[in-house]
Amino acid sequence: MANALESLKDRLFDVNALNVAAVIMDWDQQTYMPKQGSDARAEHMSILSRMAHEMFVADDTQRWTESAQPTSEDDEALIRIVKRQLLLKTKLPSRLVEEKMKASVLGHEAWVNARANNDFNAFAPVLEKLFDLSREEAECYGYSDDIYTALLDIYEEGATAGEVRTMFDAIKGPQVELVKAIAAQGPVDDSFLHGEWDTAAQQKLTLHYVKAIGFDLERGRQDTAPHPFCTTFSVNDVRLTTRFKPYLPSSIFGSLHEAGHGLYEQGSPKAWDRTPLAGGVSLGVHESQSRLWENLVGRSRAFWEWGYGDLQNAFPALKDHSLDKFLKAVNRVQPSFIRVEADELTYNLHIIIRFEIESAVLKGELAVKDIPDAWNAKYEEYLGITPKTDSEGCLQDVHWSMGSIGYFPTYTMGNLLSYQIWAAMQADLGDLDALIAVGDFAPILNWLQTKIYRQGSKFPPKELIASVTGKPMGAEDYLAGLGAKYRNLYGI
Ligand code: ZN
């Protein structure tokens, strides 16, 4: 008789194959699938997801997990992860799982239409249902301090609502101050980056940059999608997407962002492939890597000292604009309505607003029908602007329509962690700008691979962060780094 550990691993490979089939279908849907394919695709994917779920929570998977005898640290970690996933997945009655899946399919459809027609009322009943189901889900998981914690923990193991509040309290004041000081400098002209840019040239250039930072194109590729994302089929097959808009930085920084996710995924040990040990450990840590490569590397002066010449050669119109001007333009700070287009500095204010609203609705302190008013009041309070429509206000993000409630704070965690990890790397490697300025990204990538990427999901996020940076997640490196960067850039 095969031992329990081997049987468990075989089961995990089976579950992985079904999941990956669904992931490939999803990637295809977002890149190449003809529009009319969506109905059948939704059926195919939901059947595969159900099969994977049933196979994973089956009695024998649970039995093998309980009786497996780990003989290595890696196997111990594997069993810990599987136990946590089983706990999360088996705590929900299957009626709730099905209801949630149905509500999120309907929710997504209702949201697409509501956003197109600027009609929040049409979306409200579905959203109310999604919040009800999330509340029920949180009750199933259980929590001690705050209902929000139960949902947040799905995305960021061990994080609590209290920690999120502390994090936001620490950054809110200094960020609003800095935004004001920058605004007092007058507007930055980035009009020269708007316009039509040759798509083939952008394609070539973005590939050049992602390859330069170390993304392995023999083990991945880049395609285009309306909303850029990164997805993993295996350690040796990681897919990036980017988009081409009439604003040149969109594809460049979109590509660098997704390549940051991709580098993390490509860095998992081959031996862990197709198991839950491979891949990024949490949404917050994952986002720290996309933001690190996008902002700390990609938006630095050093990066463009190295890379601006190539950009100017690809787009000769840029030869009329100095490096200084370009650098200021791609780091332009400007309160705006749309989160995904927000600059590095105002981005977190968008997240705080979503967190405060989610939390209030979950606790019954805010009715779903009152979300638009609450949303607009908070945009006025934090960013000094009021959305003219709900489409550019509370209807802009996809997350709630899919029932992803409790997810947003991980974006801000990623921002904080990117600076905290950067500070730790700088302490080890010294002058990082000197490396970047000559296009020598290998020492940076090697450091991240050793400390983070090769650890996959082996350690819980808090443990990983403490071992990489020597302390728990905090705001000090982030605030110090951002302050220095923008004071430098604006001479304030
Ligand atoms: Zn990301």
283 Cα: distance to centroid of ligand 1 (angstroms): 8
Catalytic annotation present for 294: no
131 Cα: distance to centroid of ligand 1 (angstroms): 24
Final residue of a domain: which of 113, 142, 171?
142
Query: Exposure of 341 by Cβ count < 10 A (0-12 exposed, 13-18 middle, 19+ buried)?
Result: middle
Does residue 149 lie within any of the structural domains?
no
DSSP-assigned letters across all residues of 262-310: HHHHHTS-GGGTTSTTSS-S-HHHHHHHHHIIIIIITTSHHHHHHHHHH
Does residue 155 lie within any of the structural domains?
no
For residue 414, the domain's CATH number is 1.10.1370.30
Specify the pLDDT at position 227. Answer: 83
Is residue 97 domain-shared with residue 197, that is, in the same domain? no
Specify the pLDDT at position 320. Answer: 96
Residues of the chain with pLDDT under 50: none
Crossing angle (nearest 10°) for helices 161-183 and 147-155: 80
Is residue 263 domain-shared with residue 384, that is, in the same domain? yes
Does residue 379 lie within any of the structural domains?
yes
pLDDT tens digit string along 119-160? 999 999 999 999 999 999 999 999 988 999 999 999 999 999
Specify the pLDDT at position 2. Answer: 67
Is residue 165 domain-shared with residue 115, that is, in the same domain? no
209 Cα: distance to centroid of ligand 1 (angstroms): 17
Does residue 147 lie within any of the structural domains?
no
219 Cα: distance to centroid of ligand 1 (angstroms): 20
Final residue of a domain: which of 109, 142, 175?
142
SS3 230: strand
Is residue 191 domain-shared with residue 333, that is, in the same domain? yes
Rounded CA Rg of the chain: 23
CA gap 110, 121 in Å, rounded: 10
Specify the pLDDT at position 47. Answer: 87
Final residue of a domain: which of 83, 112, 142?
142
Is residue 126 domain-shared with residue 209, that is, in the same domain? no
340 Cα: distance to centroid of ligand 1 (angstroms): 10
Specify the pLDDT at position 99. Answer: 87
Of 157, 258, 287, 344, the catalytic one is 258
Task: State which residues form the domain around 30.
Answer: 4-142
Number of domains the chain contains: 2
Determine contact, residues 256/296, Cβ cutoff 8 Å: no
Does residue 148 lie within any of the structural domains?
no
Specify the pLDDT at position 24. Answer: 96
241 Cα: distance to centroid of ligand 1 (angstroms): 12
Determine contact, residues 335/346, Cβ cutoff 8 Å: yes
Is residue 111 domain-shared with residue 208, that is, in the same domain? no
Does residue 154 lie within any of the structural domains?
no
